[in-house]
Chain A
């Protein structure tokens, strides 16, 4: 047992009270005096040259205050990387997907703004469009971006050497292709942004932002104003799941309208806009070729993946790498070759999503099950024979320090009764296992670290400043827990100022699963530094050395003689009387290989820690309807150390819903000529309360040597492995290895029918 008082406890979240009272303010809830309504005119064509835009009729409409088009911009192209700058915030020359931004309007009310959109006349010349990556690569028509030949946006090539030789040595080799279409985030909150320029000409922006510092830089570039004049403000965020870290063109358009009108402007997306014009998950076609020895150990693997990236780069190089990286972290491989192609198409932009590469990951595990089947080994055994171990280096040369992959497998197997059930369940009743690993951080250059400031107020309470974002996962509470633990205060004594570019230092944002590991760590160090200052003063009063002191429950006391104590409030006041304010800073920068680069050099230390997860799923399939009834899910993850089991369980359960129940059974987009035909909640099937099975959560702790209190990424390894577990269970139930996801009733019925026909012949 630990001696922590607040860390490790099932502490209800500090932000919940405002949320259950309806007091928490999300962007759409905000209002400023004189505020105008902004709307965006979007391209109705998938690929079209913009010949002319006539805004005169819109501008003449009473109540319209401004119209902006590409002509109002300086034409700057934005991109996450220098080599992926391909997106203008308002298109100047051509539109590249149905929904691309063409113009913006600010008006006195929504009705007027919508009317004005219709009055903007855009003359287009339609161009041939491409809607799938294979077609896009082969296309001889006008490229989507002229400087990207064959419409290939990013090509990631990783090769550890000896792949072909090891295939020669392999006892058994097989090659299989797996496909999955696009999926979407469907955050509860539709995207919204409110912007204004204040009396000092500073740009203030409120929006659901996963990374304030990731947003301020492109806005500073686009408006050519210094970073300190861009204030991205904190507001409650209604979910992100990877889709809200980057700048959204609406942020810029809203700010531009605010600048032009001199008034605050708010843009609220419709549900359709949130689906089409933020980000989506990539559609992927993945071929895994795997060679194993007689015992099922992987000697060689070659994976080729084609990703439908949509019209612009977004986080292209990262997106083209992460599915592979999750695989190479989870499993040992003698040698591996990877070719990941992210291809431009005339479809909405794809970004990072909670289960990035569901078809990729589920395919890999399906193939592992096929190999085990061939060799007569059970699915658990083949995973244990290939699982990542502590002290290993991954194929791309990242050292893995803490790793309890095997423990997650064994505990999930025991809890679910896998061994007793495997091979013994009646027809159409199945069980399956998936395992995965997720990065705790990406190399993010100058934005890879976080810094925190803490100041004590004269009442003995503290203000903590940190750039960390809370998208809904509980990061605010995590920071408060850490600060309270280290300072010896109660959580209610901490006031958190976060996710605000004016007052907080640069931080990776809620990006790459690193908020606790880096941002939480920075708060921990700042709080320790602050505590040292308190102890110095208290030591004089209590007449002992500072090393003999501890802080808890608003008191500083002598460890060996707890009766000897002084309140923290008193210590702060004594310090002030001695001309010293009590404050401190602390920062944390993970030791990663700064030379590692997604495309040019994908080798070296990726991050300091990796999480590992196993999900086991038990299902029944109705052979008449193809409907899957999920009986029970057991999710186990090595989280390093559980800072708050209550919050962690919520992450596990949400991951099962999005990665497994939704991601593997019902969620996918359908298209007609580049138009998404199910962008709404009515058509896109999200899991409901009545759909969800019983979930057993198993928290495994490997206590990472670098993580704060030993903590690392928590939750996403479950989202990933849930996808694999669900597909494995369905395959097991129907006796067909499925290669197209999600596993909808039509696919299941077809698979059963084909199997029956094969058996009869």
Chain B
């Protein structure tokens, strides 16, 4: 299929790429722009490993056509940190042991980040529901849920929360 030139706004920077009408956003991110943080695990919109944000909303980049993403603000896992400074959520994932093999982590972070932007203090049930579209095979989710709950919101009783100076 013939490729056309499009501009995508990714992590607050414009990127000009050539994309075919049937190219998914995930293919363009990974293959054209070398943004390989977003992963393909199931390729059919079930596992959530490819989750990115479009205008703050979590979407499956494996089911989103690159052309559909024009005019949206796209955010990927590579855009979560401010340079070397990690976001509270990223720090919390590390501190709470929420990362094991790490393959689902980028998608999980993007879903959780979108939730926290909308609801900075979600209860456990809300977190579990918001992450229900992200499959993790390693952790049993306990530490992920805890990391999201405590992100930027350290709890005194938690042995893994770092209180920021």
Question: Which residues of A line the B interface, CB within 8 A?
Answer: 10, 12-13, 15-26, 28-29, 31, 185-190, 236-239, 241, 270-271, 471-474, 646-647, 649-650, 652-658, 661, 680-682, 686-690, 692, 695
Q: Chain A residues near B43 (CB, 8 Å)?
A: 270-271
Pick from A22, A188, A271, A692: contact of B142, CB below 8 A.
Answer: A692
List residues of B (18-74) whose CB comes within 8 Å of A's CBs.
30, 34-44, 46-47, 49
B37 to chain A, nearest CB (A): 2
Minimum CB–CB distance for B161 against chain A, Å: 11
CB distance from B150 to the nearest CB of A (A): 13
Q: Complex Cα distance A654/B86, Å?
A: 26
Residue among A22, A237, A657, A682 making CB contact with B101, cutoff 8 Å: A237
Query: Is the pair B137, A682 in contact by a Cβ cutoff of 8 Å?
Result: no
Distance in angstroms from A367 CB to nearest chain B CB is 28
Residue of B nearest to A17 (CB): B94
- How many Å lie between the Cα of A687 and that of B132 in the bound state? 9
Is residue B16 contacting chain A, with contact meaning CB distance below 8 A?
Answer: no
A13, A22, A687 interface centre (most CB from chain B within 10 Å):
A22
Q: A474 — which chain B residues lie within 8 A by C-beta?
A: 100
- Judged by a CB distance under 8 angstroms, whether B9 is at the interface is no
- Contacts A10-B160, A12-B97, A188-B47 known; A657 to B103 CB distance under 8 Å? no
Can you name 5 A-B residue pairings with CB atoms under 8 Å?
A19-B105, A188-B136, A271-B43, A472-B101, A649-B142
Q: Once the chains bind, are B101 and A238 in contact (CB under 8 Å)? A: yes
Query: Once the chains bind, are A688 and B135 in contact (CB under 8 Å)?
Result: yes
Q: Are B97 and A690 in contact (CB under 8 A)?
A: no
Q: Which residues of chain A are near B34, meaning CB under 8 Å? A: 31
Determine if A16 and B101 form an interchain contact, defined as CB atoms under 8 angstroms apart. Answer: no
Given A189-B41, A657-B137, 8 more pairs with CB closer than 8 A: A16-B94, A19-B99, A237-B101, A271-B42, A472-B100, A650-B97, A681-B46, A689-B144
B106 at the interface (CB under 8 A from A): yes
A22 touches B76 (CB 8 A): yes
B141 CB, min distance to chain A CBs, angstroms: 4
* Distance between Cα atoms of A187 and B41 in the complex (Å): 9
Pick the contact of B138: A16, A646, A654 (CB < 8 A): A654
Q: What chain B residues lie within 8 Å of A29 (beta carbons)?
A: 30, 36
- Chain A residues with CB under 8 Å of B39's CB are 26, 28, 188-189, 238
- Decide yes or no whether B118 CB sits under 8 A from chain A: no
With beta carbons under 8 angstroms apart, the residue of B101, B109, B129 that contacts A188 is B101
Q: Does B104 contact A (CB under 8 A)?
A: yes
- Determine the residue in chain B with the shortest Cβ distance to A28: B40
| Nearest 7 pairs of A and B residues by beta carbon | A22-B37, A472-B101, A19-B102, A238-B103, A653-B140, A657-B140, A22-B77
Q: Is the CB of B137 within 8 A of A658?
A: yes
CB of B149 within 8 Å of the partner chain: no
- Cβ A682 vs Cβ B44 within 8 A: yes
Contact of A271 among B41, B131, B159 (CB under 8 A): B41
Q: How far is the CA of A684 from the CA of B78 in the complex (A)?
A: 31
CB–CB B140/A692 < 8 A: yes
Shortest Cβ gap from A96 to chain B (Å): 27
Q: Is there a chain A Cβ closer than 8 Å to B6's Cβ?
A: no
On whether the beta carbons of A681 and B93 are closer than 8 Å, the reply is no
Q: Which of B121-164 contact A (CB under 8 A)?
A: 127-129, 131-132, 134-145, 159-160
Please report the C-alpha to C-alpha distance between residue A17 and residue B136 in the assembled complex, in whole angstroms: 18
- Whether A686 touches B137, Cβ cut-off 8 Å, given contacts A12-B94, A188-B101, A653-B142, is yes
Please measure, in the bound complex, the distance between the C-alpha atom of A25 and the C-alpha atom of B39, giving whole angstroms: 10
B contact residues around A681 at 8 Å (CB):
41-42, 44, 46-47, 135
In the assembly, what is the distance between CA of A12 and CA of B96, in Å? 7
The distance in angstroms between the C-alpha atoms of A24 and B90, with both chains bound, is: 14
* Separation of A374 and B16 alpha carbons in the complex (Å): 74
B-chain residues with CB within 8 Å of residue A10 when the two chains form the complex: 97, 159-160
Measured between beta carbons, the chain B residues less than 8 angstroms from A687 are: 140-141
A16 is contacted by which of B81, B93, B141, B159 (Cβ under 8 Å)? B93
The answer to whether the Cβ of B17 comes within 8 Å of any Cβ in the partner chain is no
CA distance A24 to B38 in the complex (A): 11
Query: Which residues on B sit within 8 Å (CB–CB) of A24?
Result: 102
- Determine whether the beta carbon of A239 is less than 8 Å from that of B160: no
B112 to chain A, nearest CB (A): 10
- Expressed in whole angstroms, the Cα–Cα distance for A25 and B37 within the complex equals 8
List chain A residues, Cβ under 8 A from B36.
22, 25, 28-29
A682 adjacent to B37 (CB under 8 Å) = no
* Residues on B with beta carbons closer than 8 Å to the beta carbon of A682: 42, 44, 46
Complex Cα gap A474–B101 (Å): 8
Known contacts A681-B135, A688-B135, A690-B129; decide if A650 and B100 are in contact (CB<8 Å): yes
Q: Which residues of B contact A271 (CB under 8 A)?
A: 41-44
Q: Please indicate the chain A residues that have their CB under 8 angstroms from the CB of B160 in the complex.
A: 10, 12, 646
Whether B116 sits at the interface, judged by CB under 8 Å, is no
Q: Find the A residue at minimum CB distance from B94.
A: A16
- The residue from A237, A241, A653, A655 contacting B143, defined by CB atoms under 8 A apart: A653
Q: Complex: how many Å from CA A239 to CA B99?
A: 12
Complex Cα spacing A750 to B105, Å: 40
Nearest residue, chain B, Cβ from A241: B137
Q: Are B37 and A188 in contact (CB under 8 A)?
A: no
Q: Looking at the assembled complex, report how far the CB atom of B75 sits from the nearest CB atom of chain A, in whole angstroms.
A: 11
Cβ contact within 8 Å between A686 and B44: no
Shortest C-beta distance, A506 to chain B (Å), equals: 24
CB distance from B148 to the nearest CB of A (A): 10
Complex: chain A residue closest to B86, CB-CB: A20
CA distance A474 to B78 in the complex (A): 23
